[in-house]
């Protein structure tokens, strides 16, 4: 865990609970760690590009959290640079809860999951929404985010300034596999099955070519 993530996540109440439960000493060293500049590295960028969805939490003006799953083709959440993520916000059920929450509180917490390999990346950031077609920044940003081959209406662009991130413990992540991951996993078995079927067909063809009398003599 980085100093930046601890500074945001470890509030006074959290630190008090850590002390009560006996884990404060393990995390205390982060208080004196160099702050440094938060920047997503190659490992994080590659992980994000492979995801076809993520969980995004916002908070309403009444203090209630709201978690939404955002999905799309793998890589629709784009790493624009080491401190910035972005995605094209596709039209959904038009409740606009997340969008409404972000009008009063720009903070988000994002979880990106790789269930198959039991990996989880947590990101804390601030969101800026762009939706005015007359705004040159909107057009330029959307050109970097939209997916020409994905048939969905884009309503706005979401730009996330990353303030902290952390790779979370894999414990208790139950492995789950998408259809694409299953297909990739059994591809060698399918290839082997096809090879064996071809061999059987070839042997049957040779046997039939010999005629019944020859085949009986070889049996």
What's the pLDDT tens digit per position in 118-144? Answer: 999 999 999 999 988 888 888 888 888
Residue 93 sits in the same domain as residue 152? yes
Same domain, 108 and 57: yes
Q: Is residue 184 part of a domain?
A: yes
Task: State the pLDDT at residue 142.
Answer: 84
More confident residue, 82 or 32: 82
170-202 per-position pLDDT tens digit = 888 898 988 888 998 899 999 999 999 999 998
pLDDT at 81: 94
- Report CA-CA distances (Å) from 156 to 32, 114, 150: 40, 27, 15
Note whether 53 and 150 are same-domain residues: yes
Of 22, 201, 55, 182, the closest CA to residue 116 belongs to 182
Question: Residue 166's pLDDT is what?
Answer: 94
Cβ contact 147:180 at 8 Å = no
Same domain, 113 and 191: no
- Distance (Å, whole) CA 106 – CA 99: 10
pLDDT bracket for residue 42 (50, 70, 90): very high
pLDDT of residue 41: 94
On whether the CB atoms of residues 173 and 118 are closer than 8 A, the answer is yes
Which residues, in sequence order, are CB contacts of 208 under 8 Å at separation 6+? 215
Pairing type for strands 84-90 and 154-167 reads antiparallel
92 and 110, same domain (yes or no): yes
Output the pLDDT for position 214: 62
Please indicate, yes or no, whether residues 14 and 70 belong to a single structural domain of this protein: no
CATH (domain of 114): 2.30.110.10
Using CA of residue 135, residue 99, residue 51, residue 79, what is the dihedral sign? positive
Residue range 15-26: average pLDDT? 93
> For residues 3 and 78, what is the distance between their CA atoms, to the nearest angstrom?
24
DSSP state of 80: E
Query: In this structure, are 204 and 141 located in the same domain?
Result: no
pTM: 0.82
Same domain, 70 and 161: yes
Q: Is 110 found in the same domain as 3?
A: no
pLDDT band at 218 (very low <50, low <70, confident <90, very high): low
Asked whether the predicted pLDDT for residue 219 surpasses 60, the reply is: no
Q: How far, in Å, CA of 115 to CA of 144, rounded?
A: 28
For all residues of the chain together, what is the average pLDDT? Answer: 90
More confident residue, 147 or 49: 49
List pLDDT tens digits, range 70-122.
Answer: 998 899 999 999 999 999 888 877 889 999 999 999 999 999 999 999 999 99
Domain residues for 152? 38-167
Cα–Cα distance measured from residue 9 to residue 25, given in angstroms and rounded to the nearest whole number: 16
7 and 86 in a single domain? The answer is no
- Is residue 90 situated within a structural domain? yes
């Amino acid at each position: 865990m980085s100093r930046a993530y601890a500074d945001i996540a470890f509030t006074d109440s959290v630190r008090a609970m850590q002390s009560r439960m006996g884990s404060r000493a393990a995390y205390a060293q982060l208080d004196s760690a160099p702050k440094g500049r938060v920047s997503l590295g190659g490992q994080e960028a590659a992980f994000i590009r492979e995801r076809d969805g993520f969980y995004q939490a916002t908070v309403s003006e009444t203090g209630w959290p709201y978690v939404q799953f955002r999905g799309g083709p793998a890589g629709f959440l784009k790493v624009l640079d080491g401190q910035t993520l972005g995605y094209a916000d596709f039209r959904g059920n038009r409740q606009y809860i997340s969008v409404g929450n972000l009008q009063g509180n720009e903070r988000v917490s994002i979880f990106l999951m790789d269930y198959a390999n039991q990996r989880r990346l947590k990101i804390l950031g601030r969101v800026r929404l762009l939706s005015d077609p007359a705004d040159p920044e909107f057009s330029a940003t959307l050109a970097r985010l939209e997916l020409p081959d994905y048939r969905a209406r884009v309503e706005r662009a979401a730009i996330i300034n990353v303030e902290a991130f952390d790779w979370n413990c894999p414990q208790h992540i139950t492995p789950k596999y998408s259809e694409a991951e299953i297909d990739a996993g059994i591809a060698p078995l399918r290839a082997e099955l096809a090879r064996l079927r071809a061999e059987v067909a070839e042997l049957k063809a040779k046997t039939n070519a010999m005629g019944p009398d020859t085949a009986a003599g070889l049996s």
